[in-house]
Amino acid sequence: MRHLWEWVGRTPPWKPHEVPDAGYTLPPEFQGWHLEMKNKNTLSIWSALAQAEEDAGVGGLPVVVFTRARASRYVALKFEDWCGLVVKAAATKQDHQ
């Protein structure tokens, strides 16, 4: 079982939750997400997004995490999904104030 945070290069601040079919260890907050991991110098982002959407299935959140040699890591997802995550994060922040 690979640990997602080893690929990302940092340690998670919470106890991870194992997702056996994805092959990565994810925290419970990521339940329902499908992370398509790409580490390539040349990447067809459209193909990677299509693969993430297909693998996520109905109701899943398709996300592409990508990098290349000696580069930062990036995330790609649908704009509507990103907006939903921002709204959810803002609501959570407001609840904790």
Domain total in the chain: 1
pLDDT score, position 47: 95
Question: Is the pTM of the predicted complex or chain greater than 0.85?
Answer: no
pLDDT score, position 14: 43
Averages of pLDDT over each 10 residues, the chain, 97 residues: 52 45 65 86 94 91 89 92 91 78
Angstrom distance (rounded) from CA 86 to CA 35: 18
Q: DSSP alpha helices (H): ranges in the chain?
A: 4-8, 45-56, 79-95
pLDDT score, position 76: 96
Domain of residue 46, residue span: 2-95
pLDDT score, position 46: 96
pLDDT score, position 7: 52
pLDDT score, position 5: 52
Burial class for 16, CB neighbours closer than 10 Å (0-12, 13-18, 19+):
middle
